[in-house]
Amino acid sequence: MLSSLERFDQRTAVGILARAALFIEDKDNPEVAYKIEGEAAIRDAVLREAMQRIGIQSLEETPEVLEKLSDMLDEESDALIGDADPEIALKSLGTEGSLPSDLFQVQIIPNISEFHGDKFSEEERFIREAVARPDKEQHFGPLSQSGEPALISLFAKKFAHKFPIRSFTMLVAGQRNGTVLNVHQAWRIYDDKVNLAGTDSLVEMLERFSDAFGAEVEVGEKKGNFILNTEVPKNQREWKIKFNNVGKRKAKPSNQGEKKITVSCFYTDNQSNKEKNASLIVAIDLKRYGDVLKSRRW
């Protein structure tokens, strides 16, 4: 291992090396942005040590020489990961929830792009930024603990605007499949609409969002605006939703036609042949949420 990385755990060191290697190839790539405190000095030390090892004097060398430096950093990453196939090792880190978040291959479900329409490209940029460089992240391992999800990761990042009322926190929830993160939920949380005071938990952040914009959903013996985890029959295709409790306010009958409720959750298999786990279940009123987005005109 490079001496400049000895004080870091495996996950952090692999992330530093990956971003340093990408920096050599494309300095303007947004994925090379610093992710941990003091990374500018750390990257500089890593590159200087690596260059010294292979006899490079400057990053202004020929493309062939820089490729040699990039290969050397990749070899350092492989050594940290172990003797196994690097791709397999990275998938293992992803399954465990230990993969540096900027190494995830982010895939966003069509429902999100369909909801945002011609504004999706902008929203996609915020989603990918939140995953790659989150302010906070929370991961659930591959084996579900009692009452908890499995293979789920959440990310949150604050995006500031010159007009504070348009600033928001992007909350992203995705299901891990090796190095792939399948994003099923991505919500903008505005401080004047959702009170986040006193919580560092991203799960609680999602719960508070669903309290503000959710309809009550009933799954088996559990019901509420937010259900963390429950077991459902493997062939279940329908959800029981109560529409008279949207945003904790009694809806008038004349407004029923204006609602557009979407139910979102994550499925993982459990040891039962008849049941599976359903996690982070929310039923969100997209009409109310969309009206807020329109009013903020980012």
| Crossing angle of helices 86-96 and 63-81, rounded to 10° | 60
User: Please, what are the averages of pLDDT over each run of 10 residues along the chain (298 residues)?
Assistant: 86 85 79 83 92 84 82 84 62 74 91 95 96 91 73 95 95 94 97 92 95 85 86 68 48 50 84 77 93 90
Burial class (CB in 10 A: 0-12, 13-18, 19+), 128: buried
The predicted structure's pLDDT at residue 26: 78
Q: Which tokens belong to 86?
A: 């690097």
The predicted structure's pLDDT at residue 86: 60
The predicted structure's pLDDT at residue 255: 44
Q: What is the DSSP string of 97-161?
A: T-S-GGG-EEEE-HHHHHHHGGGHHHHHHHHHHHHHS-SEEEE--SSPPTT--SSEEEEEEEE--
Q: Partners of 284 in the beta sheet?
A: 214, 262
Q: What Å distances lie between residue 215 and 6, 147, 148, 209, 248, CA to CA?
A: 50, 22, 22, 11, 8
Q: What Å distances lie between residue 7 and 1, 42, 48, CA to CA?
A: 10, 11, 17
The model carries a pTM of 0.69
The predicted structure's pLDDT at residue 271: 64
